[in-house]
Structure 1
Amino acid sequence: MSSDKPAVIIDNGSFSIKAGFACDNHPVAMFRTAVGRPNYLHGSYGKEPYDVFIGDEAFARAEDLEISLPVVNGRVVHWDNMERILHHILYKELKVAPEDRAIMLACACTTPLSEKLKFCEVIFETLNAPAFCVQPQGVLALYGSGSTTGISVDLGYATADICPVYEGGLLSYATMTNNLPSSAISVFIKEMLAERGIHVADEVPNDIRDNRVYITKNSAMSKKNYYEKYVLPSGEEINICNETFMSGELLFQPDLVAPERTDIMSLQGAIVTAALKCDPELRDDLYKAVVPCGGMSMIPGLGTRLQQDLEKMTQKTVNVMSSDEGYAVAWLGGATFAGMSGTQKLWVSKKQYEDFGMKIVKNKFM
């Protein structure tokens, strides 16, 4: 890298963005990946000055703002707003000048090269950073867990990717998805409540998903006399026993819980399928480090159940490396990666970008 100061690490997610420095063990800033502009603009930028709100602040003023989500399903769909968020991170959240800091970006495993090239353009030409590196979140999650070989299970808001990684390199041909991100869990909870005649805003199923859903080691446990109280915003008290149990079970037995959803693959089935796409001699090493990450990876009981079901399917010893801070594992991996001397060849400097243009970017970030 071109700078002696700690690099800025940015984990760019569809739901939230995390940012901090390579010298830290936790992100400095975490907020919703969203930009809010006044309603009266009707999607235009306007000719007069106006206030722009970023992240959680935008949602706090949602009634007066038009909210834009620049990252949808792991893809950047609005580059002007993405630039606005990057500018906010550097100047407002981290309080650093981008000219003094190398920047690392964690992106989805399926991010196309065209998007990486566009990020390089923004980082070097707009922000004028001295160096830039982009790495898949799945690879960085392995680094964050202390491994370079294994299977990253990224259970994010809009994507659920299973990414085999060997010696720090993503095996992109074996990447899988189980088609069940956390947003789909919220939809499932909302539908279950609606079947009981309980119609709620999106905040309620999101809260149940994040704070009440759990996974049991034995899915045949008795539910007799089990009651899970939940108080709706209206003050009404309801029993969400079925929703909290079945939502977790949906990850492991989708054919039983939601037989009409034929596109969902069980989590353990998707992991085994990804491993089977790899060379046979790699599989034992991959199973030594199965790393759940993303917000949904912190559901109570997920790690224990996943290890149990994987060992039952594969008849092999499997090591599931769960974390109490699964939402930040990929970011932590980026901080670890940026501090390793052996990874410096994977960075692109501003001078290289100016001398070789997109050619050097393609060579390093393909």
Structure 2
Amino acid sequence: MNQFQFNFEFDQYYYERDYYQALVFDNGSGKMKVGFSGDDAPRAVFPTVVGRPRHYNVMVGMGQKDTYVGDEAISKKGILNLKQPIINELITNWDDIEKVWHHSFYNELCVAPEEHAILLTEPISNPNLNREKITQIMFETFTVPALYLEKSQLLSFFFSGKPTGIIFDMGYSSSRACAIYGGNILNETVQTFPIGGKEIYDNFELILNNEKIFSYYLLDFFQSCHAKFSYVALDFEEEMKKNQNQNQNQNQNQNQNQNQNQNQNQNQNQNQNQNQNQNQKTLKEITDLYGYGKESEEKINEKLGINKFKIPEILFKPSIIGLQDIRIEDTIINCILKAEEELQKDLANNIIICGGISEIKGMKERLEKEIEKSRKLNFKPNIIEIPLRKFSSWIGGSILASSPLFENLWIARSEYDEFGPTIIKKAI
């Protein structure tokens, strides 16, 4: 393994148990991340969505399945009703999440669930009834041999290797900050910011969709690596001025070039039209077959323009989308101030950001600037960007579930058979 070094041999460790390598499921509102413990990254990442046909007669010749999950559902969204079984981090549709888990076991990982222990992530606010329902489905429907639930924020912090600090998890539907001390979440410090990746992705997708040349695969590619095409401005007003000046200069140069080359362009119109048709066809082939290419990246950059930094500004100016009197930096500041005074300096010195949109360029610098500008803390904030932070929760689970020190924390099937779903309270 590249990222992690363990002081034991996996083969020997798992041979001594009654089941094979443990699985890790990170249940995200936007994306499911699933894979094997001990791996450096999830084996599969797909949208947490289930689709059902709007009209079954249009499905003739397409297998006529009752449900579609993940990428397949999104790719057929024109003829399906799509639902997300996880809303604001909480499971709200048990039939659909069961289909997502079934898809994860049998289609993505191609394993028999009865042969693998499983660690699942859960939100800080997960009610006991939800925890018991998850436990019941895993033991009774999928007959797993062992189970463990852990808070996704705690797993992300575990991956960072820090003993004390703040985890700011910039999730799909919202963002959460919490303080962690001695391996435990300090519940009194938990703060929620109501904007997450969905707001950012939806606004970017709206722009790309309006161009009417982008396939689903390209949009999914963009969501997977949006940080490549977007950034957070350190000073939004200055960035706007700079771009306006650049656009004025470009327009002047373009007008001069058009006047100079007008005759030449007229002679080449016919050839250009032919080439344009061919180029559009080639772009469509690239995006449909591979999801992206050099041409696709250039098109995205061209079409986004100032939106590359204007849309992420929603995080720092929620009033743009009608949310008043909230600020992203206050989420972190209030989290720190809710902790005991003697912990606050250490917490401010170890602010770890994670989640997909935390990878947008300039996020660390802008957050630090806004926190300092508020003057609500008596010490300078230090924001830490951990590697692979869009997978940090899954990776933390991978490390934990593969450690022999974790062995006595699993809830075994024999315990479930004796105590039923309430056994999960043991893991709190």
Which TM-score band applies after superposition, normalised by the shorter structure?
0.7 to 0.9
Q: CA deviation at 1:287?
A: 2.5
With normalisation by structure 1, the TM-score equals 0.83
Residue 358 of structure 1 pairs with residue 387 of structure 2: no
Match of 2:120 among 86, 105, 117: 105
Partner of 1:182: 197
Residue 297 of structure 1 pairs with residue 358 of structure 2: yes
Residue 279 of structure 1 pairs with residue 346 of structure 2: no
- Structure 1: gaps of 5 or more residues: 43-47
Partner of 1:9: 24
The 1:177/1:226 distance shift into structure 2, 3 A limit, reads farther
Amino acid at match of 2:417: E
Supply the distance in 2 between the matched residues of 1:97 and 1:237 (Cα, whole angstroms).
43
Where do 1:43-62 residues align within 5 Å? Answer: 50=65, 52-62=67-77
Supply the distance in 1 between the matched residues of 2:194 and 2:41 (Cα, whole angstroms).
29
Residues 116 and 146 of structure 2 are in contact (CA less than 8 Å); yes or no, is this contact kept in structure 1? yes
Find the residue that maps to 2:176 and give its secondary structure. Answer: strand
The 1:356/1:237 distance shift into structure 2, 3 A limit, reads closer
Partner of 2:382: 319
Q: CA deviation at 1:31?
A: 0.5
Partner of 2:323: 261
Partner of 2:312: 248
Write 1 or 2 for the structure with the bigger share of helix: 2
Residues 19 and 145 of structure 2 are in contact (CA less than 8 Å); yes or no, is this contact kept in structure 1? no
The 1:149/1:353 distance shift into structure 2, 3 A limit, reads farther
Residue 225 of structure 1 pairs with residue 245 of structure 2: yes
Find the residue that maps to 2:20 and give its secondary structure. Answer: coil
Deviation readout 1:157-209 (Å, 9 max, x if unpaired): 21211122222212222211121112223556689x7xxxx798998999599
Residues 34 and 69 of structure 1 are in contact (CA less than 8 Å); yes or no, is this contact kept in structure 2? yes
Where do 1:111-130 residues align within 5 Å? Answer: 111-130=126-145
Comparing 139-148 with 329-338, which one deviates more in the overlay? 139-148
Partner of 1:214: 231
Give the percent of matched residue pairs that are identical in Structure 1 and Structure 2.
Answer: 29
Residues 132 and 422 of structure 2 are in contact (CA less than 8 Å); yes or no, is this contact kept in structure 1? no
Deviation readout 1:136-173 (Å, 9 max, x if unpaired): 11111101222243211111221211122222212222
- Structure 2: gaps of 5 or more residues: 1-13, 58-62, 251-279, 285-298
The 1:297/1:202 distance shift into structure 2, 3 A limit, reads farther
Deviation readout 1:242-288 (Å, 9 max, x if unpaired): 43323333323446xx394215x322211010111111122223233
Partner of 2:256: none
Residues 187 and 205 of structure 1 are in contact (CA less than 8 Å); yes or no, is this contact kept in structure 2? no
Deviation readout 1:82-127 (Å, 9 max, x if unpaired): 1111111112211221111110011222222221111000111111
Find the residue that maps to 1:85 and give its secondary structure. Answer: helix
Residue 68 of structure 1 pairs with residue 130 of structure 2: no
Deviation readout 1:273-305 (Å, 9 max, x if unpaired): 011111112222323332212111111111222
Supply the distance in 2 between the matched residues of 1:248 and 1:71 (Cα, whole angstroms).
24
Supply the distance in 2 between the matched residues of 1:322 and 1:349 (Cα, whole angstroms).
36
Supply the distance in 2 between the matched residues of 1:287 and 1:68 (Cα, whole angstroms).
39
The 1:354/1:299 distance shift into structure 2, 3 A limit, reads same
Amino acid at match of 1:322: E
Q: Which has the larger radius of gyration?
A: 2
Q: CA deviation at 1:357?
A: 2.2
Supply the distance in 2 between the matched residues of 1:108 and 1:271 (Cα, whole angstroms).
18
Supply the distance in 1 between the matched residues of 2:173 and 2:229 (Cα, whole angstroms).
20
Find the residue that maps to 1:185 and give its secondary structure. Answer: helix
Supply the distance in 1 between the matched residues of 2:300 and 2:31 (Cα, whole angstroms).
30
Residues 103 and 131 of structure 1 are in contact (CA less than 8 Å); yes or no, is this contact kept in structure 2? yes
Residues 166 and 351 of structure 2 are in contact (CA less than 8 Å); yes or no, is this contact kept in structure 1? yes
Match of 2:47 among 23, 29, 32: 32
Find the residue that maps to 2:65 and give its secondary structure. Answer: coil
Partner of 1:21: 36
Supply the distance in 1 between the matched residues of 2:112 and 2:183 (Cα, whole angstroms).
30
Residues 232 and 309 of structure 2 are in contact (CA less than 8 Å); yes or no, is this contact kept in structure 1? yes
The 1:315/1:237 distance shift into structure 2, 3 A limit, reads closer
The 1:236/1:91 distance shift into structure 2, 3 A limit, reads closer
Residues 54 and 81 of structure 2 are in contact (CA less than 8 Å); yes or no, is this contact kept in structure 1? yes
Amino acid at match of 1:21: F
Residues 3 and 101 of structure 1 are in contact (CA less than 8 Å); yes or no, is this contact kept in structure 2? no
Supply the distance in 1 between the matched residues of 2:364 and 2:158 (Cα, whole angstroms).
18
Match of 1:310 among 368, 371, 378: 371
Residue 151 of structure 1 pairs with residue 166 of structure 2: yes
With normalisation by structure 2, the TM-score equals 0.72
Where do 1:162-177 residues align within 5 Å? Answer: 162-177=177-192
The 1:310/1:337 distance shift into structure 2, 3 A limit, reads farther
Q: CA deviation at 1:339?
A: 2.7
May I ask how many residue pairs the two structures share in their alignment?
350
Amino acid at match of 2:70: G
